[in-house]
Amino acid sequence: MCPPVREGGGARVIEVPDAVLAELSGPVAAALPLIVARIPTRPAAELGRLRAVEDGDTWPIRGSSVAHPAVARFRPGAPARSGDPSVRDALGSLPPLLTERLLGALELTVAELDLADAPDLTGFLGEPVTGSFGVASVSGQSEAVTGVAVLEQIRPGAVPLVAALARRLASHSRVAPLLTVAPGITDERDIAAAHGAAQLALAVATAAAVLRRVGIRAWATEPPAVLGVAIGTAVLLLRESPMPAGYAAALLDRARAEYLLPRHCSGSAPVAGHRFALSEGAAVPEVDFGGNGLVAVVPGGAVIRTGVRTGHVRITLSILDGPPPDVATGWEEIVEVSWRAAVGAASVVGSHAVEPHLRRVTPPWPGDYRLRVHARGRDDADEGDTEHYELVVWQAPAGPEIVYARTDRLGHRLRGEPEPARPERPETAYRWLRRSALGEAATVTVVTGASAADVLRAFGAEPARPESMRAISEDLMRRQSIDPWVAVLDVGGAVLAVEYNGWQGSTASVLTRASAGGRAASMFWNVNAVTRLSFAERGEVLLSVEPFGDLDAPPSVAAALAGLDFADHHRGKPMMGLVAVQRFTGHGLTAEDLARIEAADIGFRIVPDLPALHPRRPRLGRPLGPAVKAPTGLPEPELPTGLPEPELLTGLPEPELRDLAWWAAAAAARYAGLGDDPDIAASVAARALTPPAHLRARRSQLDDGEHRWVWLALHRATNPDPVAAVTDTVDAARHAAGPHAANLVADAQARIVRPAGR
């Protein structure tokens, strides 16, 4: 018999006679014990779990780097090859540190192997490649990966020949007994390690024997190349081979030993047919939800009824060591049921594979459990990610079903009850926002009593310099910049200002200018769930806060906040904030307004304001200068190392402090080579930023701005608090001085004249 060996990638089929295989089996079998003895237990166990991981038949294992199917599978984006997965793909699918650990452990062993009795296999491949060739490699790439790539180039067919012969040797009578795990090994790690080490040893011995006997020059079969082929081959063998007998039981024992309570996780459940499950099974059965309208118990778990028909819903899952201390609030439906686990370790189950941390999450023991299911947003399933579930599980004797809340319309319909009349929440008018280009991050500002040009100038934009919104976005993306820009729309009676992923409309300076002739209000949000809601009138900021819970708002703002529960973040803070903005200004942003803005494709770049100047915050109990008041409960921020200490400055005459601040600003310009710049010279002489200098200072904050620290030094020198003017200006000046920072700081310290007695 001569089973064919395919070179791979659709190449020719190689016939290796059984007699040649038998001749090869002797030296390979003889080498296995030596190689197995050199393989460390931990990386061997990592390899030995590959089939279980690939099948999803495992629990999270402490200390494992491949106990996740997404890690162990072939790397996305690898070059496509026809036919079966290649050795190089398999090698590349392993965590790099695992490959390097094996390379270090076996590199010397490969050189020691005595495989002189291996048959000559040169005749089974074509002629070696001659001439020059090139192999692309990535910086830091393992020698093992590079070695496999070189072998594929200079001796086509040799690498797949190793894999194919290793497969056949695995079932050969001389080799197969050496690959079995001894019955006396019962620990999960030991079983996995014995399995992984045996298959890797087979691959190493086969690779060393074959690659040295197919006409390849010695320089191309150095140990890293041989081991690269062997490790990749072992990955293929281990993914194809069933786990050893006893592994499943050992794995269950280990999972039970390592399982700790409480535990919490969150993610998304894939939904099909309006349902997902928490179950020991792999499928979500069809059930009748007419009883409680939310959850139905099935063998080994429970099925939950969703509002969305197909898609994903957000879930949080808690496994407790006892019942929850109280019943949660803020949920529309809450039902508690009992279910019995046959084995334990139920998973969140949906229409397709769930996130790994949602698999086998419940305790890995059989018995009776309680499950409390919380749901909200089922009635709004067509409005994005508003649907949310919380599942709480704990072990407890079987008990009756308990309904704690039953208020959504879907539940009433499923139970055959009349739907409740529920008033529409005000923020639902902004549901469209989730599906818009502003869904993740934006600031929307509404201004009354101003023209569009006035609003642009309030933002720091030039009305006479419009640009394409698309062009601005593409430019910022190309430069990886977050420089600010804004688009405006006059809706009659108000101007809408929209910033895509910007926040200038939430700043006090912009709100103060924008509201000079009327009112201005803004809502800011970003992808990190940071928000800010602001209101201003007649040039005064009335309130600017991160909205949460009850806001302490002045009467002119309180009416705009009525009925908006910012403590319930699931209802959408941006949407509630825009309701408040609309109430305060009398105008809001609609989907049609945003469509008009985007169709016009006109935006304006913003030159941002300079940072606000703050007085020094002294440590309480320390002597203060005459111009500084001690705030309550505010610690003084630590100054950078080497800067003048504030206690040495307090008590100095204000003129002396001003001289020192402006000396530092001038020194910053001088060190940066800008001492003769006319705008800087005029500002230093006037001890104030001139209008041209002020504009240049603002422009310096943009990503392509020049001499940012010089302009910040000049700006900080104008701080009304003279002590802060000195410390902050010297701080900026040392950055501007670059390699001369130490000299500048030393000069500044030398200029401080200490009063007598200090």
First to last CA, the chain: 101
CA distance 721 to 728: 10
* Amino acid, single-letter form, for residue 457: R
* Four-residue CA torsion sign, 721, 722, 727, 729: positive
How far is CA 250 from each of CA 243, 356, 718, rounded to the nearest angstrom? 11, 21, 72
Contact 25, 166 (CB under 8 A): no
HSE-up of residue 239 (Cα within 13 Å, Cβ side): 20
CA distance 330 to 650: 53
pLDDT of residue 68: 42
Tokens of 633: 């409960």
Interhelix angle 96-112/143-154, nearest 10 degrees: 70
Q: Using CB atoms within 10 A of its CB, is residue 574 exposed (0-12), middle (13-18) or buried (19+)? A: buried
How far is CA 591 from each of CA 437, 588, 597, 695, rounded to the nearest angstrom? 11, 10, 10, 36
Cα angle, residue 488 at apex, residues 484 and 491 outer, rounded to 5°: 160
Residues in Cβ contact with 574 at an 8 Å cutoff, skipping those fewer than 6 apart:
430, 433, 442, 523, 525, 531
Contact 723, 716 (CB under 8 A): no
In sequence order, the β-bridge partners of residue 467 are 603
Exposure pattern of 446-455 as b/e (b: 16+ CB <10 Å)? bbbbbebebb
How far is CA 466 from each of CA 461, 488, 505, 601, rounded to the nearest angstrom? 9, 11, 18, 10
pLDDT of residue 210: 92
Neighbouring CB atoms inside 10 A of 132's CB total: 5
Question: Which of 483, 524, 692 has the alpha carbon at shortest distance from 608?
Answer: 483
Yes or no: domain 259-414 corresponds to CATH 3.40.50.720: no
Residues in Cβ contact with 318 at an 8 Å cutoff, skipping those fewer than 6 apart:
262, 263, 264, 390, 391, 392, 393
pLDDT of residue 214: 86
Phi, psi of 228 (to 5 degrees): -60, -45
Neighbouring CB atoms inside 10 A of 674's CB total: 18
* Amino acid, single-letter form, for residue 524: F
Q: Are strands 333-341 and 402-406 parallel, antiparallel or unpaired?
A: antiparallel
How far is CA 169 from each of CA 29, 39, 208, 235, 552, rounded to the nearest angstrom? 9, 20, 14, 16, 78
How far is CA 82 from each of CA 9, 315, 630, rounded to the nearest angstrom? 5, 40, 75
SS (H, E, C) 476-525: HHHHCCCCCEEEEEECCCCEEEEEECCCHHHCHHHHHHHCCCCEEEEEEE
CA distance 322 to 731: 56
pLDDT of residue 632: 34
In three-state secondary structure terms, 537 is strand
Contact 537, 517 (CB under 8 A): no
Question: Which of 299, 243, 279, 264 has the alpha carbon at shortest distance from 354?
Answer: 279
Domain residue limits, the chain: 4-127+141-250, 259-414, 426-605, 646-750
CA distance 275 to 302: 10
Residue at token pair 């089996």: 25
In sequence order, the β-bridge partners of residue 545 are 533
Question: Which of 593, 598, 438 has the alpha carbon at shortest distance from 505?
Answer: 438
- Helices (H), strands (E): how many in the chain? 26, 20
- What's the average pLDDT block by block, 10 residues per block, for the chain (758 residues)? 46 72 94 96 96 77 49 35 72 94 95 88 76 57 91 91 94 96 95 97 95 87 95 96 93 92 94 96 94 97 96 95 94 97 94 88 96 93 76 97 96 94 84 90 97 97 97 94 96 97 95 97 93 97 90 92 79 90 97 97 96 72 32 38 67 91 95 94 96 95 94 96 93 93 90 57
In three-state secondary structure terms, 676 is coil
- What are the strands, taking DSSP E only, across 306-358? 311-319, 333-341, 347-349
CA distance 26 to 114: 11
CA distance 567 to 347: 31
